[in-house]
Structure 1
Amino acid sequence: MGKSVALAYVLWFFLGYLGIHRMYCGRVGSGVTMLALTVLGGITSVIIIGHVILLIVGIWWLLDLFLTANMAMTARR
């Protein structure tokens, strides 16, 4: 039985760049990676590499729009 798809999308929309929706769906490793990249990108946004890192997280966040429902349905409680 999976997690709530609606809650997963609410988390994706409001906290997705932090990877919280992935952690909720049981994908803790990739969620922590997303969180770490966001923090690293924010810290290094003064230099150009930070913008590149944040762009990568943004693309990943958009791709998760299509992946979140499946992640939530297949997550174990």
Structure 2
Amino acid sequence: MHKSVALAYVLWFFLGYLGIHRMYCGRVGSGVAMLALTVFGGLTVAIFIGHILLMIVGIWWLIDLFLTAGMAAD
């Protein structure tokens, strides 16, 4: 099924830190991993590990800026 690149980028922009754009593009495993890192990072932000996990998700989110079009086209 053809995925909309525009919708994938809208999901990336608004819900990207939750991995919703990856799930939409058919990359469910990495989308769930992104969601788990965000949730676990948010829950452990009071201790230092939460900041590290959220930083990893933020970097992943920025890298996906360049990968989302290709994922939607596949």
**What is the CA–CA distance in structure 2 between the aligned matches of 1:69 and 1:2, rounded to whole Å?**
12
Q: Which has the higher contact order (CA 8 A, sep 6+)?
A: 1
Give TM-score, length-normalised by structure 1.
Answer: 0.94
Instruction: Please show how residues 1-77 of structure 1 align to structure 2 within 5 Å.
Output: 2-74=2-74
**What is the CA–CA distance in structure 2 between the aligned matches of 1:2 and 1:39, rounded to whole Å?**
30
- Aligned-pair identity in percent equals 81
**What is the CA–CA distance in structure 2 between the aligned matches of 1:2 and 1:40, rounded to whole Å?**
32
Give TM-score, length-normalised by structure 2.
Answer: 0.98
Which stretches of structure 1, 4 residues or longer, exceed 2 Å deviation after superposition? none
Instruction: Provide the alpha-carbon RMSD of the alignment.
Output: 0.7
**What is the CA–CA distance in structure 2 between the aligned matches of 1:2 and 1:52, rounded to whole Å?**
35
Give a deviation string over 1:8-36, Cα, whole Å, max 9, x none. 00000000000000000000000000000
**What is the CA–CA distance in structure 1 between the aligned matches of 2:2 and 2:55, rounded to whole Å?**
30
Structure 1 unaligned residues grouped into runs of 5+: none
Q: CA deviation at 1:2?
A: 3.0
Q: Secondary structure at the match of 2:26?
A: coil
